[in-house]
Structure 1
Amino acid sequence: MTEWRNRITVDPEVLVGKPIVRGTRISVELLLDRLGDGWSIEQILDAYPRLSRDDVLAAISFVSEVFREERFIAVAKAGV
């Protein structure tokens, strides 16, 4: 799994403290939204040339770790 700690950061002064790719204003949320919309990593990289493949993989790893550490899942969001 990609080590995200050197690529993903949270700064209360940037995007209201949302996790972002370090050195950008591109949020992890935006990247996951694009992937959820069916974009490939290559399409994301074309649209956001400041990003690297490792940045996108770091965002995915970050979210994966957050979910592993959560004590609950938003069941209502999943439609169950």
Structure 2
Amino acid sequence: MSNFQVLISIDPTIRFGKPCIIGTRIAVVDILMWLASGMSFDEIIEDFPELDMSKIQAALAFAAQRERFVKMIAAA
């Protein structure tokens, strides 16, 4: 998903500046944690009807993009 930026916002007054799905207070990390805990896309959408598949995919794309820039520093 190359246009995930239109679905993610970072506002210091919402959730302490955590990246959120635009128009909601649902943070990218919330979606990642739900998926990591075993929730399916359908279960997340059922519990949070303001989300849809494109918003969940935007959260995953955002996280993947951030991960590309994480550098590991090896201990000497």
- TM (norm. structure 2) is 0.90
Flag structure 2 segments of 5+ consecutive residues without an equivalent. Answer: none
Write the distance in 2 (CA, Å) between the matches of 1:72 and 1:8: 26
User: Sequence identity, in percent?
Assistant: 33
Cα separation, 2, equivalents of 1:41 and 1:2: 20
Hey, which bits of structure 1, 4+ residues long, moved more than 4 A? none
**How far apart, CA to CA, are the structure 2 residues paired with 1:6 and 1:72?**
29
Tell me how far 1:8 sits from its aligned partner.
0.7
Q: In structure 1, how many angstroms separate the alpha carbons of the residues matched to 2:32 and 2:71? A: 21
Counterpart residue number, 1:77: none
Structure 2 residue 54 is the aligned partner of structure 1 residue 54? yes
Distance 1:35 1:2, change over 3 A: farther
Separation in 2, partners of 1:60, 1:24: 16
Amino acid in structure 2 at the alignment position of 1:59: A
Which digits, 9 at most, give the CA deviation of each residue in 1:6-46, with x for residues without a partner? 00110000000000000000000100000000011110000
Tell me, in whole angstroms, the C-alpha distance in 2 between the residues paired with 1:28 and 1:2.
16
Tell me which residue corresponds to 2:7: 7
